[in-house]
């Protein structure tokens, strides 16, 4: 089976309307005919600058590149873990650079100290041995399957998060109901429901066709230059959408409760999602990935309690913990869900790293989370328990984790429409949400 280690993201265009920008992307991934109606929503939204009231918000974080879940959530109670990883295993709790003990089986990587208060307060849960039933070890395919929530099927047109939005469509839907803090719209948000991709709340520029100018000046020139240009049909509404976000001014909301975000791409993304929540722009779904300065694909020199993975996990946990601290009581309405396309091999390789595996770990954060517990069926790492003799086996389908968030937090009732070709129901939920 081929192995690919490409840049973190990819996308496709299939009769879809898309305005790509260096600072903000306004997108409706439906048929071309739907674009004007979508942008009229933006124009109408100006009347709602006062805010959309309390909204349940699902924040999804993609650890693209396949994080090593066995060194992130350390099975220190499993003796075989140390046999399989003689140079990169994280030491037992209480030893130098040892794991942060969660229970008799699991601990956090020692650099993830920012997660410890969340665990003790019951705001953080972990789900072990979770992943896809598809056995691909391709980053591209595995990410596509996870974001579409249709493992093994490449032709799915929309993403699971967009289908959640479609299921919960309401008259007072905000044009900023779904925001991705990424350069382009992620696969998970493809679909009929409106969504926005941006990299920086303070940088509003827009590009259409061959024309590109700053939105704060010269917009009308772009609008008038070419009748055939995409922007020419919907430019006014697009301008008003950007103006709405400027009027709401999420950047005025500074970190609260002593929260300090790491000075990384991921840290900035989490801070800006928090700002959007505080600004009351009607956010319901937020997406981000961990950025280009965090690299999870650790084939070589991965390290154990120290090293490159240790540094990445420190930043990762600090950004999420800062987000939860910043929002404080607002976390009553927020659930944060982390994911990665697959795990890594149980045994370290000859380069003191790990290769593409199967099952992995997800984290869930929120005031409504039944935290302080590791969920899932961990069968151990002995050879007869490993998938294909090399990987942690999947015992929880990732769609069951997604479905629990969609149903219990987002209020989605018809899970069959969100997870086609799969029986997603409460009997399969792990119970991480109250």
Residue the block writes with tokens 């003796």? 79
Which of 21-25, 38-42, 190-194, 291-295 is the least confident region? 21-25
Considering the domain boundaries, does residue 241 fall inside one? no
Measured between alpha carbons, how far is 25 from 9 in angstroms, rounded to an integer?
16
CB 334 within 8 A of CB 373: no
Full residue range of the structural domain in which residue 402 is found: 51-203+259-428
**Percent above pLDDT 70 for the chain:** 78
In a domain, 197, yes or no: yes
Whether the predicted pLDDT of 45 surpasses 70: no
pLDDT in tens, 373-409: 999 999 999 999 999 999 999 999 999 999 999 999 9
In-domain check, residue 2: no
User: How would residue 214 be classed by pLDDT, with cut points 50, 70 and 90?
Assistant: very low
Instruction: Tell me what the pLDDT averaged over the chain comes to.
Output: 85
275 versus 22: which is more confidently predicted? 275
Q: Which two tokens stand for residue 51?
A: 């805010």
- At residue 81, what are phi and psi to the nearest 5 degrees? -55, -45
**Measured in Å, how far apart are the chain's first and last C-alpha atoms?**
40
- Residues 344/309, Cβ–Cβ less than 8 Å: no
In a domain, 195, yes or no: yes
Alpha-carbon distance 25 to 185, whole Å? 8
433 domain residue, yes or no: no
pLDDT band at residue 211 under the 50/70/90 scheme = very low
| Residue 190: burial class (beta carbons within 10 Å; 0-12, 13-18, 19+) | buried
Q: How many domains does the chain contain in total? A: 1
- Min mean pLDDT across 173-182, 241-250, 394-403 is at 241-250
User: In this structure, how many other beta carbons lie within 10 angstroms of the beta carbon of residue 105?
Assistant: 16
- 334-339 and 360-365: which strand pairing? antiparallel
Tens digits of per-residue pLDDT, 21-41? 334 454 433 322 333 344 445
Instruction: Return the pLDDT at 419.
Output: 98
Query: Residue 118: its pLDDT value, please?
Result: 98
Does the residue 3 lie in any domain? no
Q: CB under 8 Å to 37, separation ≥6 — which residues?
A: none
231-235, 330-334, 386-390: the lowest-pLDDT one: 231-235
Burial of 258 (0-12, 13-18, 19+ CB in 10 A): exposed
pLDDT of 202 > 50? The answer is: yes
Q: How many helices (H) and strands (E) does the chain have?
A: 12, 16
CATH number reported for the structural domain that contains residue 184 in this entry: 3.40.720.10
The mean-pLDDT minimum among 78-82, 157-161, 183-187, 235-239 falls in 235-239
Residue 45 lies in a domain: no
């Amino acid at each position: 089976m081929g192995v690919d280690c490409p840049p973190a993201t990819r996308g496709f265009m299939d009769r879809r309307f898309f305005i790509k920008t260096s600072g903000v992307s306004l997108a409706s991934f439906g048929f071309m005919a739907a674009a004007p109606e979508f942008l009229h929503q933006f124009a109408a939204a100006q009347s709602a600058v006062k805010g959309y009231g309390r909204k349940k918000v699902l924040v999804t974080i993609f650890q693209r590149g396949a994080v090593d879940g066995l060194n992130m959530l350390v099975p220190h109670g499993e003796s075989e873990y140390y046999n399989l990883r003689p140079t990169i295993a994280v030491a037992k709790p209480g030893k130098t650079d040892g794991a942060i003990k969660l229970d008799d089986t699991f601990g956090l990587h020692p650099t993830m100290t920012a997660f410890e208060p969340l665990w003790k307060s019951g705001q953080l849960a972990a789900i072990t041995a979770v992943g896809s039933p598809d056995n691909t070890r391709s980053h591209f395919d595995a990410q596509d399957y996870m974001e579409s929530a249709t493992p093994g099927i490449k032709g799915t047109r929309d993403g699971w998060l967009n289908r959640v939005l479609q299921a919960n469509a309401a008259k007072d839907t905000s044009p900023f109901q779904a925001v991705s803090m990424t350069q382009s719209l992620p696969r998970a948000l493809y679909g009929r429901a409106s969504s926005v991709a941006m990299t920086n709340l303070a940088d509003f520029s827009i590009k259409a066709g061959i024309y590109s100018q700053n939105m704060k000046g010269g917009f009308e020139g772009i609008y008038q230059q070419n009748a055939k240009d995409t922007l020419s049909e919907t430019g006014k509404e697009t301008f008003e959408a950007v103006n709405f976000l400027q009027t709401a001014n999420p950047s005025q909301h500074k970190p609260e409760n002593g929260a300090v975000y790491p000075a990384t791409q991921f840290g900035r993304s989490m801070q800006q999602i928090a700002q959007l929540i505080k600004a009351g722009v009607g956010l319901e779904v937020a997406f981000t990935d961990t950025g280009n300065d965090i690299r999870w694909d650790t084939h070589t020199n991965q390290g154990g309690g120290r090293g490159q993975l240790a540094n990445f996990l420190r930043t990762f946990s600090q950004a999420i913990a800062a987000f939860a601290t910043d929002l404080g009581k607002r976390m009553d309405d927020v659930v944060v869900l982390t994911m990665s396309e697959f795990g890594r091999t149980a045994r370290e390789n000859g380069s003191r790293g790990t290769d593409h595996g199967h099952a992995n770990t997800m984290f869930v954060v929120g005031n409504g989370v039944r935290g302080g517990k590791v969920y899932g069926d961990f069968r151990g790492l002995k050879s007869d328990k490993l998938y294909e003799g090399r990987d942690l086996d999947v015992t929880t389908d990732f769609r069951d984790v997604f479905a629990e968030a969609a149903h219990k937090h987002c209020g989605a009732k018809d899970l069959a429409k969100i997870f086609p070709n799969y029986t997603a129901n409460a009997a399969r939920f792990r119970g991480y949400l109250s």
